[in-house]
Each structure stands twice: as structure tokens, then as C-alpha cells.
Structure 1
Amino acid sequence: MRLAETVTFGGSDLDRCAAERKDAATLARNLAEGGQVIVLWRGKPLVAGDPAKGACRLVRLGAEDPILRDAEEGAIFLGRIEGQAIFAMDISGWTPPEPVDEAQIGAFLDPTVQLHPGAPEGSAFRELRAIMTTLTARDAELAATARALGNWHLSHGFCSRCGVASAMTEGGWQRLCPDCGAHHFPRTDPVVIMLITRGERVLLGRSPGWPEGMFSLLAGFVEPGETIEAAVRREVFEETAVRVGRVDYLANQPWPFPASLMIGCRGEAISEEIAIDPAEIEAARWVTRSELLQVFAGEHPEIRPARRGAIAHFLLENWLADRLD
């Protein structure tokens, strides 16, 4: 579709320099001699700026910055921008001076902010979902990559073959088991998210736990041995009992919550009666174009739009503007 790469996290000019990941000595030297480090705490990037004003930027530190002493593993090499080596480090072992509300940290949209006493003035750890549309395309790609890799390391510290603690290698893009020699790689989970239409109506649903009134496009994981088209048809039928005919690919979005690739598709419904599976979703409904215009204007009495920055919002916005082809 037109404008397919303008979706949030859609990419910038980051050169990932995969060949450099194998040279640990050179990476260490590049880090020590002017490398810039993006810092994460429990998946939240350290950023400067005021999100209320629509402008945040990733804070980049030098390798010797004192706050990086809380990192439990080495630096992840993200790549180069204009020749500058960019790394990420996770300091989830750091304990904030203020009490942490675990219920908020694990919420759908974490509103809490953590201030590190050693961080640059005006900076804070903020939930990426809350600031993603305030970042430049370059910072958004860096933050998404750093978060996805950082979370993978936090949750995959042991060899899945023999259970021994594994070690980060290849610039953070692999883990190596020192006992059985198994190599483990970051995973990306394919997810279909679909704009299902029937005439001038679009199918929207909501999951339990979402903010009141929020509706979005249906989505679900692609299963082993399944095509994208089959996944679209299966997920829509499982969640709503609506049958889908033709399916076309539209756009995609890396989604680091925790590490998915959202595959945006359009599907033509060949039935319209809805019968939801309450184990999958809380509600579903057909919404007309005129209603969706109200939703995007914030004037609909019952429906709030999908979050800005998410591919669902992007696809719905372009459907309304007739820019899908």
C-alpha cells in the first residue's frame, strides 16, 4: 500500500552492520572509544523531553557513565548511524528510589515514570507505548530494537536444551550455552492484524483489560505451518464467527511488546453475523465509515479509537482516506 513504511517503528537509516557482531574485540573498542549507549530499565527507554509537548528523544550515554554499572550483562550492538556505533544496555537490576507500583508496571499502558539520580537532568524512564509517536523515526527504530532484544535476554537466560545459564554473544544477537554449545537466537513472533470490511463497514473488537471504550482491529498469532492468509481467516472466525474470503497484504510493523511483527492485511468478509468467543475477545461490532469518522474525531458516544502509533490506527486512518491501494 502507499505510505506503508510511514507506520511507527517503520524504519529509518539504521545500518545494522551484522558482520561487525562477530568481532567482540572490535565491538568492545568501538563501545569504549565513543560508542553511544541507549539505556533501558525493565523495557522502558531513558528519554529526555516532554511527551505532553509531543517531543521526546532517546538519551545516549558514554560507555563509562556511572549509571551503566547497574547493567548485569554486556552491551547490545544495535548498529551504526552515519558511522556512529550505537549500543543498548539494560539496567533492570537498578532499584528506583521511589517505590515501584508493580500493578502499573505490568499494565496495558504503564503511566509511571522512573527518575534515576545519576541520569542527565530532565530525563526519565518512560513506557515506550506512551511516547512512541513523540520519537523520530530513527529513535523509534532504535528503541524498538533495543526493547525487543533487551526483553529477550531478560527472559532467555538459560539454555532451552540443557538448562545451563547461557551467555550473551555476537554483540547481543545470540546467546551461547557454555555447556552443550547450543546457539540461541532472538525470536520474532508473526502476528496478523486485519482490516476486515464488508461494504462500507469495518469489523472492530476489544480485548478484556483495554481502556474503557477502546476498540481496534482483530489480531492473532500465526500458527506453525500456517500461511498469513489462513491465519487471517482462522483468527477472525475463531474470535467472531465471521467468514473471510479474499485476503491481501497491506503493511507491517515491528511491535516490541514484547517482540512481534504485526502483519497488516485487508480481508473481505463473506458473512456478517457476529458470535464472539469470550475467551478471545470481550466485544466485536461492525462500524460504518461515518461512525469511524466520529471515532477519529473523538465524538463517538461509545467507541474510542485504537492507539495512535499502532498499525491498527494507521490502517483504519488510511482506509478512511482511501489510501490502501
Structure 2
Amino acid sequence: MTTRYDIIPDIHADIDRLTQTLSTLGYVSDGEVWGHPEGRIAAFLGDFIDMGRANKAVLTLVRTMRDQGNAVAIMGNHELNALLYHQPGLNADGTDDGYMRAHSDKNRAQHQTFLDEFPVGHADTAEMLEWFLTLPMFLDLGGLRLVHACWDDVRIETILARRPSGLLAQGDLQEVALEDDASCFAEAVLTTLKGPEAELPTPYFFHDIKGHKRTGLRLKWWQSGAMTWRDAALSVPDPAVLPGTPIEGEVAFRAYDAEAKPVFFGHYKRLGSPAIDAPNAVCLDYPRVTCAYKWAGEHQLDSKNLILID
């Protein structure tokens, strides 16, 4: 019998968003443990922390569900960032502040709500960071795949060659932290958790939604036919300013195979209304519209199974 999964995207320490999502999907709580009366399994896409004020409550709920066999969960880039922020070592920013992720004003602000509940050096923080390392970077569950930001077969194989479990080890963190001079393994980890990016060919650039000039482009890896800069562009207000030429050269862009099993991901903070991105791929991260997907074994994703929570 096929296990049926309810895929739930980035929660970001919002306990109300999480409990409302579970309730809408038919999960019930006995006061401590959430479960589904039909035996469905919640599948969390990572990014449990930061932004919201209820980091501990969200993490406790998700951990309990997983411990009870009512959920599976993967790592998001915010969990990776937390591991690096709290780990002594060298950082990619070139600052010698003693941590693998620089304690800059920008990074501290992004991580502040977690720090309010889990200060640097506290025993509870160390225990929670250990739990983050139990979160696989991706899951292949037979009929479907879960990843936070990008499923690329070559990069997945690179990770599995070193870590067959798909779990990061403590000894990998320093290598991953030095992302400006990333090894093949580190690049695979970073792309899996943060998504593929590429530099536009000279002299092209664009302005993002905040008006900042950018030459680095996020790519719609899930669209098998999107192989030009313009078609593959993500989060570009006016794609017409980009070249309509094929993506080629040193850019390692491999679109997701149209015949591959369905893949679910979050991460991208999409605007507009949730929708199926491809017959076998869907992003569920819409900060302004809570959504989830009720998977029942289908190979081609169905919009009727895309559930809008509010």
C-alpha cells in the first residue's frame, strides 16, 4: 500500500501557520502529539526557524511528530545557516570573528528570533543543532522526492558518494562554510539547499524587486524546457531585459527530467497564487498564501491536491 504524504513547506517559526495547516489537512492533536486518523504522513520541506517568534514551539511539534512516526522532515538552508552560525571556524566573508557563518549585522538580524530562544553557547542550542544534523538534505520516498531548493541528479550523487544517508556530518561543516571557494561536495550541498544560480553573460544585468542591480540569476531548474536565460529566470521583475540565448558554457544548469518522479520543494518565497510548476514539480513556498499538497501516489501532479490553507 502506498504511503500517502502531506507536503508542508517552510514554516519559519510560525506556530499558528503550522497548526492551522495540520488542522486543515485533517491532523488532530491529543495535546502533545499530532497525527492523522487515516495514517497520512506529514512531509516537511525544511526552514523551520527564523523570522517568526515561535522557533522552539515549531521545532518541538515537528520533532515529536517525527519521533512518533507521523512525519518526515528534511533540512532547509536556514538550518544549515544556523549550524554554521553557531560553529567555531572560518567563514566565507573573510572576517575573523571565530565562527563559520559571520556574526555580521545582516546575518544576526536574519537569525535573531532563533537567537532569542537559542543563544550561542547554550546547552539547549547545542542539543537542537545536533538534531538539525539528523535532517537529511533530501529524501527519495519511492514515488516522490523532497528537497528544499534543488534536485539535481549529479549533485545528489555527489552527496551520496560521501554521505549515503544524505545526512551532513559535523566534519563537513567547515568545507561547506567556505562557499566562495567551494569544493565539489560543498557546491552540491549548497545548491541542494539554496538553489542554482549563475552569472549573466556580460553586459547583462537586471534590477530585483527592491531596485538592487544584480548580475547573478536564480534558475528555474524544475522546468525541463526552460533552457534560455530569459525562460529560466526566477524572481526577475522584467525577464525581457535578459538575453534570449541558450544557457551554456561553464554554467552547470540541468533541467529536471520531464519523466522523473514528482519532486516537491520550498525555499523560493514565491508571489502570486500557488500553482503546479510542471507535471512533476511544484514549489510550495508562498509566504503570503499558506498551502500544502496532499499526495496520493500520482505520478503527474494534480492541482486539485494543492490545498490552500487561507
Please tell me the TM-score bracket, short chain as reference: under 0.3
What TM-score do you get using the length of structure 2 for normalisation? Answer: 0.26
Q: Which is strand-richer, 1 or 2?
A: 1
Tell me which structure has the larger Cα radius of gyration: 1
What TM-score do you get using the length of structure 1 for normalisation? Answer: 0.25
